[in-house]
Amino acid sequence: MQIAERIKTDVAAALKAGDRERVGALRLVLSELQRAAKEGGSDELAVLRRERKRRRESEQAYRDAGRIDLADGETFEARVIEEYLPAELGDAELDALVAAAVAELAPQGPRDVGRVIKHVMAAAGGRADGRVVSTKVKEAIT
C-alpha cells in the first residue's frame, strides 16, 4: 500500500476517534504528498523526510523564540511523520557504513568529505540523517 493511501486510512480512523491534532497533522502531510505527486515527484519517502526536516527546524526556531506551545505542536507533527518513515540506522550500523566508505574511497583529506558523505548516504538508502553522517565522516577522515 502506498504511503498516501495509508495516511488516508489513518485520517479516517483519527476522525472517528476524535483525535483532532492527529487529523490536522496527517492532512498536512497528505496535502504535501498529493502536491508532490501532481508536480511529478513520485518519491513519497523524500517528501516525508523533507516535511520532517521542516518540522524539526520549525520546532527549534520556536524553542529559541520561547514559544514552547508551538514547538510542541511541531514535535508532535514530526513524530506523526516518522511513523511512516523507515527506521533510522543505529550508530553501530552507521559507523560500519562510514568505515566501509572510507576504506573503499580512501579519502586524501578534508576535501574528499563530500564524496564520502554522498557514498554513505546512498548506502544508507535514506535511513540516516545527513547531519549525523556528516559528523561521523568528518571524524573518520580527520
| CATH 3.90.950.10 is the classification of domain 3-82 | no
pLDDT of residue 87: 83
**What is the pLDDT confidence band of residue 40, given thresholds at 50, 70 and 90?**
confident
CATH number for the domain running over 91-141:
1.10.10
Instruction: Determine the Cα–Cα distance for residues 1 and 139; give it in Å rounded to an integer.
Output: 40
For residue 76, how many other CB atoms are within 10 A of its CB? 16
pLDDT of residue 51: 92
pLDDT of residue 26: 94
For the cut 90, the answer to whether the pLDDT of residue 130 exceeds it is: no
* pLDDT tens-place string over residues 75-110: 999 999 999 988 888 888 888 888 888 888 888 878
**What is the pLDDT confidence band of residue 111, given thresholds at 50, 70 and 90?**
confident
- Percent of residues, the chain, with pLDDT higher than 70: 98
pLDDT of residue 22: 93
pLDDT of residue 6: 92
pLDDT of residue 72: 94
Spell out the domain ranges in the chain: 3-82, 91-141
Q: Looking at residues 11-22, what average pLDDT do you find?
A: 93
C-alpha cell at 106: 580512501
For residue 128, how many other CB atoms are within 10 A of its CB? 20
Lowest mean pLDDT among 12-16, 35-39, 86-90: 86-90
Mean pLDDT, the chain, whole residue set: 88
